[in-house]
Each structure stands twice: as structure tokens, then as C-alpha cells.
Amino acid sequence: MKLSTAAWDIVNQLAASERRQSWFRQILGSRDVSGLLRKLGELNEPAVLPYVAHFLTSANSGTRAAARETVAALLEQISARDLLALEEQSLWEQAGYRGQDWTRIQPADVAAIAGSSDLRGRAAVLSLLSFHKNGYVRQEAVRLLTGIDTSSVNTALILRDYPFLKDAPESMRNRFIRDMADLEVCSVLPALIIRQNDWVKPIAEAAQREVRRRINDGIFTISFSFREVELILLMETWHRYDHSDVICDMVNLLLTEEQGMKLSHLVGAVTLDPKLCRTFVRCALTCLEIPSERLLLYGLISKDPVIRYQCCRGLRSLPVEASQELPFQDRMLFLERLASDPFLPVRSEAFRQLAALDPANAVSRWEAALLDRSRSIQEMACYYLNRIDPGHAVRFCRDAVVQNPESLPAIEGLAAVGEETDLEFLRTLCVHPFPSRRCAGIRAVVRLLQRDAISEVMPFLRDSSPRVVRTAGRSLRPWITQIASEDLLAVVLKADTLYARSYACELLAAQGKWSSFPWLLEAVVHSESETAAVAAAMIQSWCSAGQSYRVFTRPSAEEREKIGEMLARFQSQIPEQLVQQIERELSLYS
């Protein structure tokens, strides 16, 4: 956490007011100090808390009250991550140069600094004291924090602060007082949760007992920001103690009917941090031997695709016979809807479960998957279909192409599973006007012919579509060293699009460090400026530290001779910096 310029200005003014010898103190009265403290609270920067903390022990009652208000305002809005940052003692040490009152606090002073229950901000001050570097001070703060619950909240203080309640109906007044008491109790929880990982074991054990007691007694209040939930989930990364029981208790609390609205808000992942929501769902599925049906129902319709996937996988652990809200027919309907989910992992998991739940119709389920737009799902469907009935996937794709010749999923399915007897049709795809069909044809021809497909695929490196060029290049990569460099250079010099020429330069460079240099140098000399720049960049990448330090292949005498010959022939046409780089690289192996 860092202070803004405005916050630093106020902190410096407060520091000047505390120096007795400063002329500034004569001008700045206690009211001005209180005003500056309240301004810090309005900035809402948690990093000022260590600086404000020094004024909690001020001799002036007005200054102490302003400091309490500021601490309460800042801790009310602070995020879980910023609250954890207060554990870093470097923040307090940096603020300690401004005053020593905070560091001198003793356990006997804690109750007096926190104040009586009729003072506003008592819980916030105790929460801040629980971050003190003195273990005994932290222990006393935790002891006093455990005493703050709904029964200890001062009703008279609430009525005094909100005068309109005197004339309000009794039911409204009681409801308001109960809500304010819940907020007071809620403000205590973050500090207690963090203290569960205190390096002083008695403090940690006291905090752990109190947090678990509040969860199990139903007095664990969750704020609208779910800060308490986030802190407990972060405990999963704390390794000083085992916090799994507390995490499971919190999960079970949120899965109760009373917390239904909070659970739907958390799992729905509409406004909250997606990472928090995903972590909660993962912990909930891990803690429970049989997943909660309510959790799964909320998760399957979540806006977050990862949560939908987590809950879709969670359905596996929920026996059909033990399910009340998700019986067989309802589960099948859910899975059929998820089979058309935009998120690929969700569709893949849905197809697996549909086939497993209804083995009699598994073939039809995998046939539907074979027509999915994702090639990975098509390959998975082909695998399972061939296990059930070898050759069924090929026959199905052929029939699908006959029925709908322009169906891209059918075409890609046949391209993925077709045999040599289908080559005649697959070759016709290579001249299709749509790039997607040409790509499918290229992949199919390469899959069936392997190395013999090089001559058929090479012309597509000059295609007008970048997608086709990429597909052709990736298909040729396994045999890149067997492609004639002259053919690649011809693409570099004669292809119509810059993308095709640049991609051919990459393929030339992929043929090897020293063997590619003469051809890339020729591309630098004879191609137009943009392509020449790409070819030069390929050479420079081979000579850069990242590549040069990983590839220690020594150039052969023939390769060295060819490179020297090209440099001598085109020295005036090759940039001098590039020549120097190549010569320096060659000198490393001389």
C-alpha cells in the first residue's frame, strides 16, 4: 500500500504539529489536527492507518475522538487484501518515525485506548490494536474483541446516534437496532479471522475458537462485500496452522437455507470478484463428500464459465438416487443445455456425463458431439464411438456430409476421422472458396499422407487467407527440415501478401540456425522492404541472447563458407549492424 500525494501532505502536516519545537504547532490547534485526521478518513486510503494510530493515545480528547472516527471509517471500507497488508511490520515501522506513542502501548493500556462500549469505533480500534507488534497487546485486543457480540451492543448509543428511531414504530426500531448490532459484530470478524494465523499460538487458538463458535452459533455476519468469506478462503494459503475445519464450517454456513441469497450472489459471480467466487465453489466441492444440490443448481446457471464447469464436474459426485432437487430427468435436461454451452470444457464434461448416465443412447450422444464446433470434442467423440463400434465415426461423418455438404462440423469431423478412400472428396475442400473448408482439407490431407503431403500443401503457403497460411505452416512443421529451402525462399519473394511472405521467413528460420542464414540473407537483399525487415529480424533473433545462449550448435565448414560468401557478395546491400551481428556470432565458434 502506498500513500497518495494528498495523503502525504496531510501526514506531514500532522507530523509537524506533533513536534513541540515546531512553529507550526503554535499555529495549528487541536481542532485543526482533528480536521486533518477526518480529511485522511475521507481520502479512504488504508495506508494511512499506521499514521492515524499514533493519535489514538493523544492527550487531547478531541484528537482521540477524531482518530477513532478515522480508524472506524477506514476499516469499514478496507478490502481483505489491504487488511492483510497491515500484517507487514514495515508499514508500521515507517510510520513509527513520525511518533513513538503507538509502539509504547502496553497490554494494560488496550482497554483505555479502545474506550467504553458507549463510544463509537470501539470495535475498530480493537481491530487495529490486534495488528500491534507486541504479542501481549494483540492478545488483550483479541480477548476484548471476543466479548463483542449482538448481546453486548449498546442500544442506548444507537438510539442516541439515530434520533429518528424514537418516533419510529417499534418493529422498525427493533429491526434497525438488530441490523446495527449485526454490523458492529461484523466489524470484529476480519481481525479475528486474521489472528487465527498469529505466530503466537495462544492468540491463534483463541481467535480460532471464537471464529468457529460464531460460525456454529449462527452469529457469523457476512457483509455485502463478502470480505469475511474472502479472508477465510485466503486461509487456505496459510500454512502455519491447519485451517481446513474453519473453511469447511464457513462453507456449511453459507449452504444453509438462511444464507440462500448470499450463496446465489456468491456463486452467480455477477458483481463480485470472479476469483473469490471460483475459490469458494472449489472449496465447497472439496469440503463436502456429497456436493450440495443448492450449490450445484446455482453454479450450473452462473454467469462465470469456470464456475459452471466446476459445478458440472461436481455433478459426478452427486448420486442420482440421492438427489432430490436434481433427479434423473432434470439432470439430463441440465446436461443437454450445458452441451451447447459457449465454454468448451463445460460442453466436453456435459457430453461425457450424458453418455455415462444413459448408456443405451451413448452412440447418439457421441454423434452429437462429433458435430461440435470444437475439434478437441470431435476427437474425443471419435475415440469413444470407435470404442463402442469401430468405424462408426467415419460412417456417421460421411452420411452427415452427404446430407449437408456445407456443414462445417461435418466437414471437420470427416477431416479428423476420414480414411484414404475419402481423399478425393477431401482434396476438393482444398480449393473451396471458404478458408475454413480449405483448412479442414489441408489438415485431412496431411493427416492421411504425412510427409508425402508436402508437395500438395506447399502452394497454400501463398494463400490469400492468413488462416490458411497458418494451417499449412503448422501442418508442415514436423517435416520442416525436409522442405527445400529454395521453395520457401520462392514464397518469400513471390507471395502476394505480406503475411504469407513473413510466415515463410519464420519457416526458413525454423529450419536451423546456421542453415537458414544464407537464405534469410538472400531474402533481406532481394525482397521488398517490409519482408526484408522480417527476414533481418529472424537473423537477429538467432543472434540474440535468448536464442544464442540456448543453441550451441557449431556451424559446419560448409555452412560457414556459404554465410561468408553471402556476406561478401551482398555486403553493400546488407545493413552494417546485421553484418556485425552475424560476424560476432560466428566468431564465438571460431
Position 443 scores a pLDDT of: 93
Q: How many CB atoms lie within 10 A of CB 506?
A: 15
Position 513 scores a pLDDT of: 86
Neighbour-count burial of 3, counting CB atoms closer than 10 A to its CB (0-12 exposed, 13-18 middle, 19+ buried): middle
8 Å CB contact between 476 and 510: no
8 Å CB contact between 381 and 352: no
Kindly state the cell numbers that stand for 156. Answer: 442506548
Cα 82 from Cα 70, distance rounded (Å)? 16
Which is nearest to 575 in space by CA: 547, 542, 539, 545? 539
- Torsion over CA: 309, 314, 318, 324 (sign): negative
What averages of pLDDT result for each successive group of 10 residues across the chain (590 residues)? 83 72 50 82 86 84 86 86 84 65 86 78 88 91 82 58 64 61 70 91 92 80 75 87 88 80 74 83 86 87 91 88 79 91 95 93 92 89 91 91 89 88 92 94 93 93 95 94 92 93 94 89 91 92 68 78 87 85 82
Q: Helix axis angle, 498-510 relative to 513-526, nearest 10°?
A: 150
Q: Helix axis angle, 293-300 relative to 260-268, nearest 10°?
A: 40
The DSSP code sequence of 147-161 is T-SGGGS-HHHHHHH
Which is nearest to 317 in space by CA: 349, 345, 344, 277? 349
Q: Three-state SS for 406?
A: coil
CA distances from 119 to 44, 309, 467, 531 (A): 22, 49, 69, 75
Neighbour-count burial of 183, counting CB atoms closer than 10 A to its CB (0-12 exposed, 13-18 middle, 19+ buried): middle
Cα 508 from Cα 461, distance rounded (Å)? 12
Which is nearest to 211 in space by CA: 222, 225, 200? 222
Q: Which residues contact 111 (CB under 8 A, 6 or more apart)?
A: 140, 144
CA distances from 158 to 118, 120, 176 (A): 9, 9, 9
Cα angle, residue 119 at apex, residues 113 and 125 outer, rounded to 5°: 40
Strand residue runs (E) in 170-323: none
Kindly state the cell numbers that stand for 584. Answer: 560476432
Cα angle, residue 130 at apex, residues 125 and 131 outer, rounded to 5°: 105
What is the helix (H) or strand (E) element at residue 299, kind and residue range?
helix 293-300
Q: How many residues does the chain have?
A: 590
Tens of pLDDT, residue by residue over 248-298, are 888 888 888 777 777 887 777 566 788 888 888 998 888 888 888 888 888
8 Å CB contact between 523 and 532: yes
Position 164 scores a pLDDT of: 62
The DSSP code sequence of 453-483 is GHHHHGGGGG-S-HHHHHHHHHHHGGGGGGS
8 Å CB contact between 427 and 442: no
Cα 74 from Cα 566, distance rounded (Å)? 70
Cα 63 from Cα 52, distance rounded (Å)? 10
Cα 396 from Cα 389, distance rounded (Å)? 11
8 Å CB contact between 308 and 338: yes
